[in-house]
Structure 1
Amino acid sequence: MEKLKCVAIDDEPLALALIKNYIEATEGLQLLQVFEDAIAAIEYLSKYPVDLLFLDVNMPDITGLELYNSLAVKPMVIFTTAYKNFAFEGFELNAIDYLLKPIDYIRFKKAARKAIDFHQHKQQKEQDPSDHLFVYSEYKLIKIEVKAILYLESLEDYVKIHLSNGKMIMTLATLKKVIDKLPADKFRRIHRSYVVAIKQVQSVANRKAQLSNDTLLPISDSYVSFIEEWKSN
């Protein structure tokens, strides 16, 4: 198994040493560098590819959130923090996990396993497209059957994935990013905010598509060609 290339960033020497020891003791992880200086870390990350960051939230020159947002290429990230209320902010950034200090090794390994699993699924998806969609939601990698998807709904920075069993999964992504992971012949955009599974459309009337669960979705002028395409299927 290819190891994840890791960098740890924390202005506290003892906390950084602990993370360093944990990374070196964990199968599947390879430590590249550790940094107490956030600015030096940014310079390094702009030059060298990294798979996973262990990133402290509270640092004097720049916060972990600001550092991560400044990166042109954003690797997976596990935030470390002494503050419990950070969890929601970490979710907003689509973090793999967050670790509350003081960090014990069992909890560290659990977070590392999430990162390893996510990386493996991502690689598998790129190499071997299947009938499943993998998305990251609430610190978990979710596997969704493509045939179970009714439609996608865009809500600013999030996408709601509506399923035929009535469940809904929310992921931090653009609608285009999710569409690109789906079979092009099975899904169509009908509105700036909606993508439908073509076979789930039961009827079309008054510029609205009625789905198999009786949901009505608008068809905008920009995507009205969908109506003729749907008729021919």
Structure 2
Amino acid sequence: MVLKCIAIDDEPLALRLVSEYVSRFPALQMVNTFEDAITGAEFLKNTPIDLLFVDINMPDVTGIELVRSLQAKPMVIFTTAYKKFAYEGFELEAIDYILKPIDIKRFTKAVEKAIDYYKYKNKPADDETDESLYVYSEYRMVKIDLDTIEYIESMEDYIKIHITNDKTVLTLIPMKKVLEKLPSAKFQRIHRSYIVPVNKIRSIQNRKVRLTNVELPVSESYNDFARNWSKQK
């Protein structure tokens, strides 16, 4: 597996640094670099790539505008000196958002996310060995191990993923879509507002699901699941 990359940045020194960092990863191949967004965008129209490193604050066309204009979007890692663009990176579902000056440890973390996500997206359809969920949170891609999920809660436009050690991940995604990302044998929706891991159900009684540390309601629409679970016990 080798991910084809390009980098776009109006600062030649920044381009050289990204290229040098990329050369340290056998799983990455730098195909080309560009000092302006317009030339880079033209290249992207005709050449499919896997991963784009792009500066945000560039003259003429910003990195945000460039990514928005792409019909076929590669994975994107934004590089910028400005924190104020973080929300736009979130809207465009960037893999990561690295502030300049870029150090190799931070760069490595972003690249590892991209490699993991590429493997996740390109696994065979019948491969059910992956034990992770990928969502966008805090302006970047977040990987969540399935066995750490305690339950998932709907909060209007967002969902809150409760994970072990009282931690939570907030992400902008519909419940229906996140349910599609989860293995149906391991996760069940019990209410319009809740999804639970089946192996963490301790009991179901009086339309209440008791998990390890919380009790959640079962709505009438999902009573069949409650009855079937009870029969299996």
The number of residues matched between the two structures is 228
Q: TM-score, normalised by structure 1?
A: 0.73
Alignment of 1:12 onto 2:8: no
Deviation at 1:105, TM superposition (A): 4.6
Change (3 A) 1:151 1:47: farther
Displacement of 1:56 after TM fit? 0.7
TM-score, normalisation: structure 2: 0.73
Unmatched 5+ stretches in structure 1? none
Query: What's the C-alpha RMSD, in Å, of the aligned pairs?
Result: 3.6
8 A Cα contact 1:92 1:172, kept in partner: no
Deviations 1:21-40 (A, max 9, x none): 43345432101222334244
Q: Secondary structure at the match of 2:14?
A: helix
Q: Is the 8 A contact 1:55 1:80 kept in 2?
A: yes
Residue in 2 aligned with 1:184? 184
Instruction: Check the 8 A contact 2:82/2:99 in 1, yes or no.
Output: yes
> Match for residue 168 of structure 1?
168
**Equivalence map 1:92-171=2 (5 Å):** 93-105=92-104, 107-120=106-119, 123=122, 128-130=127-129, 132-135=131-134, 142-146=143-147, 148-155=148-155, 158-163=158-163, 166-171=166-171
Taking the aligned partners of 1:27 and 1:79, their CA distance within structure 2 comes to 21
Q: Is the 8 A contact 1:78 1:95 kept in 2?
A: yes
Identical-residue share of aligned pairs (%) = 50
Asked if the contact 1:56–1:81 (Cα under 8 Å) also holds between the matched residues in 2, the reply is yes
Is the contact made by 2:93 and 2:141 (CA closer than 8 Å) also made in structure 1?
no
Instruction: Decide whether the 8 Å contact of 2:94 with 2:141 is kept in 1.
Output: no
Q: CA deviation at 1:82?
A: 1.6
What are the Cα deviations for residues 123-179 of structure 1, in whole angstroms up to 9, with x where unaligned? 568674237224355557545243x53322234664322246544334554434432
CA distances 1:69-110 after superposition (whole Å, capped 9, x unpaired): 343443322211122444565456543333333334554344
Amino acid at match of 1:22: Y
Alignment-derived partner of residue 48 in structure 1: 47
Supply the distance in 2 between the matched residues of 1:131 and 1:117 (Cα, whole angstroms): 11
Q: Which residue identity is paired with 1:101?
A: K
Q: Which runs of 5+ in 2 are unaligned?
A: none
